[in-house]
């Protein structure tokens, strides 16, 4: 297969983990005989500094021309601490989502047996938890009409039937491929937009008789994720709820640095780690490259290159088993490995496989 990849490394640790992600992508492509080309583009704080725009037109074009975007992370504290800043790196991310029509954000919450002791939850609760959160990504409060006054401010949470239907389709497709259990998370006891979600889901459910569909209020879902994370198989929810619940999901696994994601929709899909740009670690060669590397696995799987994805997952598991780990997950007395060393070990494993 021929693949054109847009590479958006962004800020903070982004360039370091991206280097390893690209190296793994190349190694897998070589092994399986795929022809891959890469084009780098600016985004985030780095793009604001260079051209005054966190998602410049040229980057947009590069993404549109590509088959897939490999994204790392954006953000810089110099913007966080400046409420008067006119443009922020995060706006680049939102612009990318909107312009590429990335309405479906797929965030797997996967636990690795050898890392469950890192979870803030008890081992026996979290071991084996494995679900996917499907977050609607281009609607709701993030993009609804806003007013930002000094005395009054609002954000509106608008959803259309079409937007709800298309994300539910994605969710049902995932449920069909997994354990056939879909949980629709909303706040239908209070919000009109949630009642539309529930109505549309209830209308669609009979088209998927093999899937058990249940409904859960978001407050209850937040609780259930902690009390019984294994309850969930596929969860689908609106933009803001999904933002919050996926952060919760990532930390209960005990391995935030290991979770990849995919955003898909109308144009080029984007693959990225769920963690942020960790500016304090920039240049220190300590960031975990595994979430970026697993995002490459999701990229291959998106193009139905299952064996390629499987090999990356196997290599990642092997690196964990052999304690080839970055400091935040290294075992007591384990050797020192940095971002680069972990990436190189995985590339080497793939070549020899």
Binding segment (CB under 6 A) for ligand IPM, from list 86-94, 197-205, 224-232, 331-339: 86-94
53 has catalytic annotation: no
Say whether residue 90 binds Mn ion (CB under 5 A). no
Cβ nearer to ligand IPM, comparing 261 with 319: 261
Say whether residue 248 binds ligand IPM (CB under 6 A). no
Which positions from 225 through 244 interact with Mn ion, judged by CB under 5 A? 243
210 has catalytic annotation: no
Cβ nearer to ligand IPM, comparing 19 with 243: 243
Among 19, 49, 67, 90, binds ligand IPM (CB under 6 A): 90
Largest CA distance in the chain: 64
Among 53, 76, 142, 172, the one annotated catalytic: 142
Q: Least distance in Å: CB of 52 to ligand IPM?
A: 19
Among 15, 288, 10, 256, smallest CA distance to 120 is for: 256
Among 65, 123, 247, 321, the one annotated catalytic: 247
In angstroms, rounded to a whole number, what is the distance separating the alpha carbons of residues 97 and 40? Answer: 18
Say whether residue 19 binds ligand IPM (CB under 6 A). no
Among 53, 172, 174, 187, the one annotated catalytic: 187
Cβ nearer to ligand IPM, comparing 35 with 247: 247
Interface size with ligand IPM, residues (CB under 6 A): 4
Say whether residue 248 binds Mn ion (CB under 5 A). no
| Strands 130-136, 234-237: pairing kind | parallel
Strand partners, 273: 260
Six-digit token string for 62:
């590069």
243 has catalytic annotation: yes
Say whether residue 155 binds Mn ion (CB under 5 A). no
Cβ nearer to ligand IPM, comparing 247 with 348: 247
Say whether residue 155 binds ligand IPM (CB under 6 A). no
Binding mask 305-334 vs ligand IPM (x if CB under 6 A, - otherwise)?
Answer: ------------------------------
- Residue found by looking up tokens 């590069």 in the block: 62
Cβ nearer to Mn ion, comparing 246 with 264: 246
Q: Which residues contact 240 (CB under 8 A, 6 or more apart)?
A: 140, 141, 142, 157
Which residues are at the interface with ligand IPM (CB under 6 A)?
Answer: 90, 93-94, 243
Which residues are at the interface with Mn ion (CB under 5 A)?
Answer: 243
């Amino acid at each position: 297969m021929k693949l054109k990849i847009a590479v958006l490394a962004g800020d903070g640790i982004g360039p370091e983990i991206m280097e390893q992600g690209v190296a793994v992508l190349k190694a897998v492509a070589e092994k399986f005989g795929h022809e891959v080309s890469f084009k780098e583009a600016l985004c985030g704080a780095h793009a604001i500094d260079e051209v005054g725009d966190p998602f410049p037109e040229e980057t947009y074009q590069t993404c549109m021309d590509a088959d897939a975007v490999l994204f790392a992370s954006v953000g810089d504290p110099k913007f966080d601490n400046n409420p008067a800043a006119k443009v922020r790196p995060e706006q680049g991310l939102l612009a990318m989502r909107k312009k590429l029509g990335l309405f479906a954000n797929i965030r797997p919450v996967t636990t690795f047996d050898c890392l469950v002791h890192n979870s803030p939850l008890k081992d026996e609760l979290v071991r084996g938890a494995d679900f996917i959160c499907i977050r609607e990504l281009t609607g709701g409060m993030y993009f609804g009409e806003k007013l930002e006054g000094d005395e009054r401010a609002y954000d509106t949470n608008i959803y259309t039937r079409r937007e709800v239907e298309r994300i539910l389709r994605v969710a049902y497709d995932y449920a069909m491929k997994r354990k056939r259990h879909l949980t629709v998370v909303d706040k239908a006891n209070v919000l009109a937009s949630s009642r539309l979600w529930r109505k549309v889901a209830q209308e669609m459910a009979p088209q998927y008789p093999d899937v058990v569909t249940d409904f859960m209020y978001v407050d209850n879902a937040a609780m259930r994720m902690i009390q019984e994370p294994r309850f969930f198989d596929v969860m689908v929810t609106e933009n803001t709820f999904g933002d919050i619940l996926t952060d919760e999901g990532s930390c209960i696994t005990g391995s935030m640095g290991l979770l990849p994601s995919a955003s898909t929709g109308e144009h080029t899909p984007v693959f990225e780690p769920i963690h942020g740009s960790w500016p304090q670690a920039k240049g220190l060669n300590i960031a975990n490259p595994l979430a970026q590397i697993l995002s490459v696995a999701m990229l291959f799987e998106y193009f139905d290159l299952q064996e390629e994805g499987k090999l990356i997952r196997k290599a990642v598991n092997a690196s964990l088993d052999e304690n080839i780990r970055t400091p935040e997950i290294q075992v007591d007395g384990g050797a020192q490995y940095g971002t680069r060393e972990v990436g190189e070990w995985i590339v080497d494993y793939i070549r020899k496989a």
